[in-house]
Amino acid sequence: MSDLAAVNAIIHGRVQGVYYRAFARRRAATLGLTGYAHNLPDGTVEVHAEGEKEQLQRLIGHLENGPPAARVNKVDTDWSEYTGNYTGFNIRYHTR
């Protein structure tokens, strides 16, 4: 069986208003991951993704670069257990 995991990433820098969430959704979907991306009030973007650990690590690499208009300063990651609670990868347009 595949090595399944979850990762929560907080992306710092110029990451809002530069299509960062759409970029994260495209990359995650291409990698077969589920979860979501959304803007946080402090100007960061949160990405929560679940799936195969190797694919999650690839996603983190993409998140560290971001789309062309973004400037990523730092990506904080927090690994956790796979839950299977998500279908697809979505953009959330509201805060919790």
Task: Let me know if 39 is a catalytic residue.
Answer: yes
Catalytic residue among 14, 25, 39, 65: 39
Strands (E) located in 28-70 = 34-39, 45-52
Is 21 one of the annotated active-site residues of the chain? yes
C-alpha 86: how far from chain center: 13
Catalytic residue from among 14, 21, 27, 58: 21
| Residues 44/8, Cβ–Cβ less than 8 Å | no
Contact 60, 48 (CB under 8 A): no
Active-site residues: which are they?
21, 39
